[in-house]
Structure 1
Amino acid sequence: MTDFDEQEFEAFVAATHDLFTAMRRNRGRLARTESNLSLSQLGLLDAVATHGPMLVGQIAGHAGVSGPSATRMLKQLEQNGVVVRQRSTQDERKVLVDLTDQGRDLVERQRNALRAGQRAHFAALSPEQRANFVDVLQQMATMIGQWSEFLIEDGTWPE
C-alpha cells in the first residue's frame, strides 16, 4: 500500500463526497427541468430504456430503489401514460413494464440535455486532460463499486 499523508486522504474523502453530492443534485435538477420527473422516477425509466421491458423487481434493482417504492412510482408513471404493464408471453404470472412513446421521449430528452452539458465540459479540456479525466473516473467507478465489500454484514464499517 502506498504511503500517504492524512491531509491528502481527507481531501480525497471530501472530494469524493462533493462528487456524489454534485452528481445527485444536478442529475435531479436536470430530471425535473427536462422531464418533470423525480430522480428516482428517472432512474426507473432509464433502467427500462437501457435494458428493455423488465419485471418491477429488476427495475428496482437497476434503479437502486426498494421494490415497494418502484411499484408505487411505476403505478403513477403508468397513470401518466409514461409506462405500460404487459403480461409476459413466456409466463403469464409475470408482468413486464415497458416505456410508452411518451416515456421514451422523456428519457431521450433528459439524456440529450445531460449529454449537451457533458459535451461542453469535455470540449473545454485539453486532449491530455480528457484522457486523464476518463482514466480517473473509471478508477473511481471501480473503487466505489468495491467500497460496499468492506462493510461488515450488519452494514457497518470495520474499526
Structure 2
Amino acid sequence: MSNLTHLDSQGHAHMVDVSEKDITTRVAHAEAFVEMMPETLALITQGKHKKGDVLAVARIAGIQAAKKCSDLIPLCHPLMLTKVGVDLIPEVELNRVRIRTICKLNGRTGVEMEALCAASVAALTLYDMCKAVDRGMTINGLRVMEKQGGKSGHWQADQTPAGHA
C-alpha cells in the first residue's frame, strides 16, 4: 500500500498541494442503496407519500451535497464542479432504491468524494423523508463505481451489485 497523502512526514494531517498536477477532465460515479419495506417503496413510486416527491427532494439534496463536499469532509479541496447528476432508480423486485451519481470537472484533483457525498446524502434524505413509515430501512453499498482522469487514469469497480455475489 502506498503512503497516505494527507499525512506529512511527521504524521500530521494536511491538505494535499495539487498545484503542480495537470488539469484534466475528471469524472467519478458512485452508488448506494436504500432498502425498505415494499409498502414504503410503493408510497414513493406511486407518489402517495404525504411529504411529496421523495425522489425529487433526495435528488436535490444529493446535488447540494456534492457542491458542499469540502465543507463536510476535512482536507477535501473545494471544487468547481461542471456536472453533478443524481439518479434514483426504484428496484421494486429488490425492495430498494438504487442511487447513482456522477460528478465531473476539469481540474487538478478527483471528484470521488463529491460523488460519494451526493450518493450518501441522497440516501440519508430518502431515509429522513420515509422514516415515519419505515424505521427499518437500511442504507448500504456506498461505493465508487468508476473514476476517470488524472495520473492514475481510468478505474472501474467490479460491476456485481452490492450485496450480490
Report the TM range for the smaller structure's normalisation: under 0.3
Query: Given the two structures, how large is their TM-score scaled by the length of structure 2?
Result: 0.26
Q: Which has the higher contact order (CA 8 A, sep 6+)?
A: 2
Query: Given the two structures, how large is their TM-score scaled by the length of structure 1?
Result: 0.26
- By percentage of residues, which structure has more helix? 1
